[in-house]
Amino acid sequence: MSSRARRSVLFVCLGNICRSPLAEAAFRAEAARQGLDVKVDSAGTGSWHVGEPPDPRAVATALRRGIDISGYRARQASRADFLRFDHIVALDRANLAALRALRPHDATAALSLLLDHAPGRSGQAVADPYFGDDRGFDTTWEDVTQGAEGLARRLLAENGTLSAGAR
């Protein structure tokens, strides 16, 4: 990749209707705040909700922070994603394992767990709020925001290293 190439990040949970759309929204907001130019998307390892908008509770959670995710549509992660994105970020260990199984031998994407990017939270999962109550979605938002902040800082630092190297 050239040093000027735009970075890209894909967030992946199970259904792509609760956690990863919120991670996508939080990371878009954080990237804008930190001045990071990055392509962002989300997907699910499962196919049950393909084509659907995010869960209404996820839409409401983002809207309370001034972010409209109602136009997002769920899709399933694919092997091609490993060549299209620089970073593929799983929301929990089960999805990280599913992604490792899907990963093609010529993958260029770096695979990681979202909370590995949050100081002091390495190895932790963003819990699935789907079968819980509305409050679970606020916890999800706090978790994905912490991961998004750390990941954005890391990409910004990588960009700095790349442009310094290009001089």
CA atoms within 13 A on the CB side of 20: 32
Nearest approach in angstroms of CB 120 to ligand 4NP is 23
Q: Say whether residue 57 binds ligand 4NP (CB under 6 A).
A: no
| Spatial separation of the C-alpha atoms in residues 111 and 22, rounded to whole Å | 19
- DSSP state letters, 72-115: ----B--TTHHHH-SEEEESSHHHHHHHHHH--TT--SEEEEGG
What number of residues does the chain have?
Answer: 167
In the chain, the amino acid numbered 87 is H
Q: Say whether residue 12 binds ligand 4NP (CB under 6 A).
A: no
Q: Say whether residue 69 binds ligand 4NP (CB under 6 A).
A: no
Give me the catalytic one of 13, 41, 55, 92: 13
Nearest approach in angstroms of CB 16 to ligand 4NP is 5
Residue 144 contacts residue 126 (beta carbons within 8 Å):
yes
Nearest approach in angstroms of CB 18 to ligand 4NP is 3
Site string for ligand 4NP, 123-142 (x = CB under 6 A): -----x-x------------
Nearer to ligand 4NP, 35 or 131 (CB): 131
